[in-house]
Amino acid sequence: MKLKINLITTALVAIFMSLSLSSGHGESVTYKDGKKVWNYEKVQVLGWDLYIEKSISKDKALNDVILKEVREGIERFIKIVPSDAIKFLQTIPIWASNEPTYPMRKNERGVIPFHRDKTWLRVHDLNPHMAPGVHIINPRAALLDHKIFEWGPMTMLHELAHAYHNVKLGLSNPEIKKAYGSAMARGLYLKVPDRKIKNKKVKAYAATNKEEYFAEVTEAYFGKNDWFPHNRKELKEYDPKAYHMVEKVWGVTKNTP
């Protein structure tokens, strides 16, 4: 009888938490920078702080989409990436705000970048407190129109990998520099199948720079990348140095799934 009561209590708590999240019930948070003010609803999603701009959180349908997509994006890797690394990643907040475009991609509506530079954010009239952090810009466009998580299911890990690289490892990390330099010297990632037209050869996103290289091979190792190499097996065959680099810097052990 006691076990049955405990199970019922647990179920009711879970339902209450789910309803609270889906209703946008969270902590009201205000950030200021000079005369500028930003207001958010702060909620917890699987250990991450998620800040949803008040203008968005009032839209229940969109608010629910953000909560769902962020949760599912995290669920794709939270049990696969080593736990010590997860603990660090959970210190990186996620933000959702209603700017129509991203300053670096003004022709695109709805993107999900990682921010590392408070000064850059301030110069572009964005909340400097978002650095370091992952930012869902124009979530209606990013999640509903572009459906970013459908064609890039590991996008959340990709952006958090930038945080791991910038904040935890440091941009001068020798393991990443060595693996990237070797890949470029060998001509890897310069002619790979296009994401949509498979018989067309194009330059992979990983060849952009060492930061995108690290984020892309991290996607492939721990999940499914939309660019080739798509998964752990393909990564090991195509770029074994990247494969071993990922294992080393992320702290992969024999017990890692």
Three-state secondary structure call for residue 151: helix
Q: What is the pLDDT of residues 54-111, one digit of tens each?
A: 999 889 999 999 999 999 999 999 999 999 999 999 999 999 999 877 776 666 678 9
Q: DSSP of 214-242, one letter per residue?
A: HHHHHHHHHS--SSSS-SHHHHHHH-HHH
Same domain as 193, residue 159: no
pLDDT attached to residue 25: 63
Give this prediction's pTM: 0.88
Query: 71 with 104, same domain?
Result: yes
Domain membership flag for residue 7: no
Whether residue 157 is found in the same domain as residue 176: no
Q: According to the model, what pLDDT value does residue 17 have?
A: 39
- Indicate the burial class of 197 (C-beta count within 10 angstroms; 0-12, 13-18, 19 or more): exposed
Output the CA–CA distances (angstroms, integers) from residue 3 to 8, 11, 157, in the order listed. 9, 12, 38
Angstrom CA distances, 202 to 58, 180, 199, 234, 254, stand at: 42, 18, 10, 17, 35
* 168 three-class SS: helix
The total number of residues written for the chain in this structure: 257
- Residue 201: CB atoms within 10 A of its CB come to 12
- Name the stretches of the chain with pLDDT < 70: 1-25, 104-108
Residues 84 and 123 in one domain: yes
Predicted confidence at residue 256, as pLDDT, reads 76
Looking at the fold, whether 131 and 238 belong to one and the same domain comes out as no
Final residue of a structural domain among 133, 164, 195 = 164
Residue 58 to residue 228: CA distance in whole angstroms: 39
